[in-house]
Amino acid sequence: MNLWFRLLLMLLRRPWRKPVGGLDTTVVKMRVWPLDLDFNRHVTNGRYFTMADVGRMDYVLHSGAYKVALRHKAFPIVGDVWGKFRRELRLFEAFEIHSRMLGWDDKWVFVEHRFIRKERVIGVVMMRGLFRSAKGLIDPQEFIAEMNLDPQSPPLPEWLSAWSESCDGMSAQLRDEELC
């Protein structure tokens, strides 16, 4: 099923859902459709990233992050994403995407998307992103404060900090290659 149709469904359901706190989890219910499948007849790895976008949009809308972005005339930028796939999702299976912000550092905000079927984690998509306005990047601490959260991030898991550092290392390497 196309991303735009899923986004539309999520938006149509939005008015009847209660807002959540910035560190709370949002849940989007979905089903696997034929266009989600690869040749092995299970959800293709790229589709997980696309469906995580829907979960992230739901989180941004329900947590009130969109209000802060609008005040700054900012838009979200995904910097890096990775996925961990544990089990397959097959045609017509129902599942949920549980999205939550794990924390932030001096540049990035980290959001986790857990794909859950029958109370079991099928896969996880991690994203680090930021908000940018015409004036430049929005400081995560400022953004978080405007969401009425403590400016101090919850402790980030060691694996998440290591992943973020490896992404920074790859970015530095790519910049160096461009200068050659």
Band (pLDDT 50/70/90 cuts) for residue 1 is: very low
Average pLDDT over residues 99-108: 97
pLDDT for 85: 96
Beta bridge partners of 37: 43
Contact 6, 54 (CB under 8 A): yes
> Domain extents for the chain?
3-153
pLDDT for residue 60 is more than 50: yes
pLDDT for residue 15 is more than 80: no
pLDDT for 7: 67
pLDDT for residue 26 is more than 90: yes
Q: How far is CA 80 from CA 5, 83, 163, 171, in A?
A: 25, 11, 10, 10
Give the per-residue SS3 of the chain. CCHHHHHHHHHHHHHHCCCCCCCCCEEEEEECCHHHECCCCEECHHHHHHHHHHHHHHHHHHHCHHHHHHHHCCEEEEEEEEEEECCCCECCCEEEEEEEEEEECCCCEEEEEEEEECCEEEEEEEEEEEEEECCEECCHHHHHHHCCCCCCCCCCCHHHHHHHHHHHHHHHHHHHHHHC
> How large a percentage of the chain has pLDDT more than 90?
85
| 33: phi then psi, degrees, rounded to nearest 5 | -115, 165
Task: Write the pLDDT tens digit of every residue in 113-157.
Answer: 999 999 999 999 999 999 999 999 999 999 999 999 998 999 999
Separation of alpha carbons 59 and 21, rounded Å: 10
Average pLDDT over residues 46-67: 93
pLDDT for 179: 87
pLDDT for 167: 97
pLDDT for 19: 85
**First-to-final CA distance of the chain:** 43
CATH number assigned to the domain covering 3-153: 3.10.129.10
Which range is least confidently modeled, 31-40, 109-118, 152-161?
A: 31-40
Here the tokens at position 23 are 């560190």
pLDDT for residue 4 is more than 90: no
Exposed (0-12), middle (13-18) or buried (19+): which is 105, by Cβ within 10 Å? middle
Average pLDDT over residues 72-92: 95
